[in-house]
Amino acid sequence: MIVAVPKETFPGEKRVALVPTGIPPLVKAGFEVVIEPGAGLAAGFRDEQYVAKGAKIATGRDEVFAADVVLQVRAAGSNPDRAADDYPRLRKGGVLIASCDPLGEPKAVEPYAAAGVTLFALEMVPRITRAQSMDILSSMATVAGYRAVLLAAEALPKMFPMLMTAAGTVSPAKVLIVGAGVAGLQAIATAKRLGAVVTAYDIRPAVKEQCQSLGAKFLELELDTAAAEDKGGYAQAMDEQFYRKQREMMTRVIAEMDLVITTAAVPGKKAPILVTREMVEGMAPGSVVMDLAAERGGNCELTRPGETVVHQEVTILGPVNLASGAATHASQMYGKNITTFLLLLAKKGRVELDLEDEIIRDTLITHGGHVVNERVCEALGIAPPAAKPAPEPVADEPPQDIYGVKKDN
């Protein structure tokens, strides 16, 4: 089977879906790897490096999308302005694996269904131990949490560490991290390394020990958080009454902080407002708010995605696609995630849809001309396709799964 990697077309995207060191495991598994010319340049990888590891450089983008399997960083809803450029190139029966934002932009997967593409969205990988090596959300959040602190430190007119000098003692910066998921924990660790006094807050009480283990003080508010975490380990959206009470309690805390980093995002939903205009106006001049949920609308009421806003001498940063800012390592991590997933999907050198495997079942979005993922169908307001009864096995022919794809017993 041929596995191909195109050059990313999302504006400002520097990552690539596969780095040269990821090619040998695929070649060993029986795949032929094809790379679009210049696909890895923005991430620091030349075409010659791919060739040296066993890949072939394609003649152009059409050859890439003619492959059996296409690996991308951004497709469908994750590339809303440019994904349509590749619709004419989509191959019926082909497999495409990428980040797709299927819950946030469910209609964007419909052209892939119409083209007969088997589409997998890696954001949908379940949070289970076996799937950790395929979890792109965690990998990219690690990069984003690190980058967020560096960008915020640059914008803050203070130094992070306490310094005792002949000119007097410089007090350390006070940092509040709101949301202790992967990005938040990495932000805590990075801010502590730079010498800040770090406080962390999360509606999930279970993360208290993780925050404290990284050297942060854990902020506890008197709120009912029993329903704050879903079965997959992700923070769950709460009702507006909860957020209103939370904001009231946070106002006093935020007024004392030099930097607030917010990370609260729920897949497929608008980010909750945690930092209001009133809170920002209560912060000291020169303070900074770094909003990691900007792509989902932002946790700060004043955030503008992709922009820097200054409101009453407080700077609000709303960066998007932070992981692309560290494209080399982000690509290395993403590439590991996607190749691990591909090797699970094609254990015997060919793609097999084992729908009894929850990783494959949960990430499969389109197949056989239909949107087949239950959560995406719900978001689209349509019923998932009815399961077809399995035909009687024919001699020397493997049985089929409910979508008509052959698989072994």
In whole angstroms, what separates CA 138 from the centre of its chain? 7
User: Tokens 């495409």 identify what position?
Assistant: 96
82 is catalytic: no
Separation CA 404–CA 399 (nearest Å): 9
132 is catalytic: yes
Query: What are 227's two structure tokens?
Result: 């329903």
DSSP alpha helices (H): ranges in 66-167?
Answer: 110-114, 136-155
Q: Do 212 and 218 touch, CB atoms closer than 8 A? A: yes
Q: What is the largest CA-CA distance in the chain?
A: 87
In whole angstroms, what separates CA 388 from the centre of its chain? 33
Separation CA 344–CA 347 (nearest Å): 6
Separation CA 217–CA 212 (nearest Å): 6
Q: Active-site residue among 78, 138, 246, 324?
A: 138
What single-letter amino acid sits at 88? Answer: P
47 is catalytic: no
68 is catalytic: no
User: Tokens 């440019």 identify what position?
Assistant: 82
Q: Active-site residue among 46, 85, 130, 132?
A: 132
Please return the burial class of 231, using the count of CB atoms within 10 Å of its CB with bins 0-12, 13-18 and 19+: exposed
Separation CA 330–CA 348 (nearest Å): 28
| DSSP-assigned letter for residue 349 | S
Query: What are 55's two structure tokens?
Result: 């890949």
Q: What are phi and psi of 289, to 5 degrees?
A: -115, 120
Q: Active-site residue among 86, 101, 135, 202?
A: 135
Q: Active-site residue among 204, 234, 304, 357?
A: 234
Find the helix or strand (DSSP H, E) in which 174 lies. strand 174-178
324 is catalytic: no
Q: Do 254 and 300 touch, CB atoms closer than 8 A? A: no
Q: Do 219 and 201 touch, CB atoms closer than 8 A? A: yes
Q: Active-site residue among 127, 193, 204, 375?
A: 127
Work out whether the CA dihedral 221, 225, 231, 235 comes out positive or negative.
negative
| DSSP-assigned letter for residue 300 | B
In whole angstroms, what separates CA 137 from the centre of its chain? 3
Kindly list the catalytic residues: 127, 132, 135, 138, 234
